[in-house]
């Protein structure tokens, strides 16, 4: 038995039954990280000492006969844009390479209180800008299904770590698809919750009105368990919403008979790989087998989502990233005076994609352009929201591919930003509308995973879990593990 292959739900039972200890479990994961990291490169920082210390504490608790929580003693990791007190938090940027936050993100605190064992911090596209993790300042992360290919991004480290069983689960962040697209590329379950469902306090901002933290897990049940731990109002985040947080696991196992699924035809247009589309139509057939009603529908403003997104997100990013000036923390270049110091710091500290977006955003907000770009993009955003509102008047969930293609090769899109941007075409509208979206394994094309994207009403993550779980249990794609020789060699038998 390789315990690293197991889900959080299964491991919890083993811990309670004293079949394993948290220390053994943590060692198993740290060993696996040590052996696989040479190929996968999911981690920026591994916190082995503190992880083992925490595990020993949980074991002591179990030994005392105390009850443990569902996630207690279970090893996990965080995308490196969530602040962790005393542990460097880099955003995979030279700018924050040495930055050690004096405080922890709310999600990190909640997981710590739930007894989670933090294994380390995960690689990402610099400041969460990118779709392949190639924009990391340190190194690209490799897709465990094919090491020649990208894991997706920006939460590429998070998706790869879960797919390669280098962590039981991980938290990622999603601004335009950054949880769901890598989840699809790496064959794991990734949830982007409703905007305001999970606190952003301590998440290093890319685009404040779009960013949302969510779990990447091996299966749907684990995803619901992690959501139980991290979701809910936080007074430190004014945009977090007071809502009645359900137990997300209560939706698992409910049948989906009569459930109405809309399939927006705009999500199957040009650029969607036909083999990927076929996998999605097979998924639709499976859902129909389970009793759901599915039909085509329309979200007419979908075409305008990408342009609106690439004005709003860079606009917010240009302001959010202004604080990295070398004055207070982070990288500082030598300069002759204040202005040259700030200029050189930003020129040397940021990578090209970050600079591109800062420039785009600065331009979009400039006097004379503001109305034509930023204001217009916000109007488009309202129209996209209205599209969804209208569709959800008829349908319980909407369905699409998560990404237009399977994982692409390194370098394939990195020279053309626009083609890279298009890999988020199915996920971006969900962020603009602030609604939840989940990607679950739905099959394969050429041995590479394809993600099924389900979109729900605001704060209706429950129904997404209901449909996702029914599909997962029916199809079993989540049980297929990467078979590259490097990954397989380390025992996922």
Partner 1 sequence: MAWSDTYEMVCGVETHVELATKSKIFCGCTTEFGGEQNTHVCAVCSGLPGVLPVLNKEVVNLAIKAGLALNGEIAEFSKFDRKNYYYPDLPKNYQTSQYDLPICKNGWLEITVDGAKKRIGITRAHMEEDAGKLVHSGETITSSDESYVDYNRTGVPLLEIVSEPDLRSIAEVVAYLEQLVQILDYTQVSDCRLEQGSVRFDINVSLRPKGTSDLGTRTETKNLNSFASVRHCMEYETERQAEVLDAGDKVVQETRTWDEGKGITISLRSKEEAHDYRYFPEPDLVPLVIERSWVEEIRRTLPELPTERRMRYESLGLSEYDAGVLTSSRALADFFDEALSRYADAKILTNWVMGEFLRLLKANQQSVLDSPISPVQLAELLELIDKGSISGKIAKGVLEDMYATGKDAALIIKEKGLGQISDEAALAEIVEQVIAAHPQSVEDYRAGKERAIGFLVGQIMKATKGQANPSLVNKLLKEKLS
**Catalytic residue IDs:** 79, 154, 178
Tell me the per-residue interface mask from 297 to 336 with partner 1, x by CB under 8 A, - otherwise.
------------------xx-xx--xxxx-xxx-------
The distance of closest approach from Cβ of residue 97 to partner 1 in the complex, given in angstroms and rounded to an integer, is 13
Tell me the per-residue interface mask from 369 to 408 with partner 1, x by CB under 8 A, - otherwise.
-x---x----------------------------------
Determine the interface stretch with partner 1 among 15-23, 145-153, 194-202, 432-440 (rule: CB under 8 A).
Answer: 194-202
Residue 205 binds partner 1 (CB under 8 A): yes
With respect to partner 1, which residue has the nearer C-beta, 346 or 457? 346
CA distances from 383 to 116, 273, 377, 453, 485 (A): 41, 27, 10, 21, 48
Token pair recorded at residue 253: 């196992």
The distance of closest approach from Cβ of residue 94 to partner 1 in the complex, given in angstroms and rounded to an integer, is 14
Residue 439 binds partner 1 (CB under 8 A): no
Token pair recorded at residue 41: 């490169």
With respect to partner 1, which residue has the nearer C-beta, 187 or 214? 214
Please name which of 124, 141, 123, 118 lies closest in space to residue 48, comparing C-alpha atoms. Answer: 118
Direct distance between the N- and C-terminal alpha carbons of the chain, in angstroms, rounded to an integer: 8
The distance of closest approach from Cβ of residue 323 to partner 1 in the complex, given in angstroms and rounded to an integer, is 5
Rounded distance, CA 15 to CA 321, Å? 43
Axis-axis angle for helices 8-16, 220-230 (nearest 10): 80
CA distances from 118 to 45, 97, 213, 289 (A): 11, 19, 16, 40
Please name which of 8, 373, 31 lies closest in space to residue 215, comparing C-alpha atoms. Answer: 8
Rounded distance, CA 402 to CA 452, Å? 6
Tell me the per-residue interface mask from 81 to 120 with partner 1, x by CB under 8 A, - otherwise.
xxx-----x-x----x--x-xxx-x---------------
* Sheet hosting strand 260-264, strand order edge to edge: 43-46, 117-122, 75-79, 169-174, 212-217, 189-192, 437-445, 448-456, 397-401, 260-264, 293-297
Residue 338 binds partner 1 (CB under 8 A): yes
Tokens 């969510």, located at residue: 214
Residue 201 binds partner 1 (CB under 8 A): yes
The distance of closest approach from Cβ of residue 418 to partner 1 in the complex, given in angstroms and rounded to an integer, is 25
The distance of closest approach from Cβ of residue 374 to partner 1 in the complex, given in angstroms and rounded to an integer, is 6
Q: Is the peptide bond before 154 cis (omega within 30 degrees of 0)?
A: yes
The distance of closest approach from Cβ of residue 132 to partner 1 in the complex, given in angstroms and rounded to an integer, is 23
Give contact residues for partner 1 (rule: CB under 8 A).
Answer: 81-83, 89, 91, 96, 99, 101-103, 105, 200-205, 207-209, 235-239, 315-316, 318-319, 322-325, 327-329, 337-338, 342, 362, 365-367, 370, 374
């Amino acid at each position: 038995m390789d315990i690293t292959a197991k889900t959080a739900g299964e491991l919890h039972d083993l811990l309670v039954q004293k079949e394993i200890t948290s220390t053994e479990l943590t060692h198993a994961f740290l060993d696996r990280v040590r052996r696989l990291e040479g190929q996968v490169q999911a981690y920026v920082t591994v916190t082995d000492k503190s992880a083992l210390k925490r595990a020993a504490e949980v074991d002591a608790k179990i030994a005392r006969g105390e009850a443990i929580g569902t996630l207690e003693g279970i090893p996990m990791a965080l995308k490196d844009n969530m602040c962790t007190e005393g542990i460097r938090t880099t955003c995979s940027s030279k700018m924050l390479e040495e930055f050690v936050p004096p405080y922890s993100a709310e999600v990190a605190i909640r997981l710590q209180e739930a007894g989670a064992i933090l294994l380390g911090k995960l690689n990402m596209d610099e400041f969460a800008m990118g779709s392949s993790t190639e924009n990391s300042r340190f190194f690209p992360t490799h897709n465990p299904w094919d090491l020649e290919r990208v894991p997706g991004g920006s939460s590429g480290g998070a998706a790869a770590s879960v797919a390669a069983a280098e962590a039981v689960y991980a938290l990622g962040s999603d601004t335009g698809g950054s949880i769901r697209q890598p989840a699809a590329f790496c064959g794991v379950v990734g949830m982007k919750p409703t905007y305001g469902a999970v606190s952003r306090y301590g998440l290093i901002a890319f685009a404040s009105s779009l960013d949302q933290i969510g779990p990447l897990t091996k299966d749907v049940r684990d995803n619901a368990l992690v959501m139980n731990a991290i979701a809910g109002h936080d007074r430190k985040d004014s945009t977090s919403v007071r809502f009645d947080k359900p137990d997300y696991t209560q939706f698992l196992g409910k049948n989906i008979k009569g459930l109405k699924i809309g399939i927006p035809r705009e999500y199957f247009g040009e650029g969607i790989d036909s083999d990927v589309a076929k996998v999605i139509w097979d998924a639709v057939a499976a859902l129909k087998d389970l009793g759901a009603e599915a039909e085509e529908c329309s979200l007419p403003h979908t075409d305008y989502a990408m342009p609106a997104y690439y004005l709003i997100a860079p606009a917010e990013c240009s302001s959010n990233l202004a604080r990295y000036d070398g004055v207070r923390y982070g990288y500082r270049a030598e300069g002759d005076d204040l202005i040259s110091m700030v200029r050189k710091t930003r020129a040397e500290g940021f990578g090209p994609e970050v600079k591109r977006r800062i420039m785009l955003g600065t331009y979009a907000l400039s006097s004379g352009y503001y109305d034509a770009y930023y204001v217009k993009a916000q109007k488009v955003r309202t129209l996209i929201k209205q599209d969804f509102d209208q569709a959800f008047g008829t349908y319980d969930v909407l369905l699409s591919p998560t990404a237009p293609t399977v994982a692409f090769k390194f370098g394939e899109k990195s020279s053309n930003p626009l083609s890279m941007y298009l890999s988020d075409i199915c996920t971006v509208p969900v962020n603009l509308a602030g609604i939840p979206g989940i990607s679950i394994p739905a099959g394969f094309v050429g041995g590479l995973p394809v993600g099924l994207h389900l979109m729900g009403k605001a704060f209706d993550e429950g129904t997404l879990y209901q449909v996702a779980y029914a599909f997962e249990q029916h199809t079993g794609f989540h049980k297929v593990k990467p078979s590259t020789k490097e990954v397989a060699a380390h025992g996922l038998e």
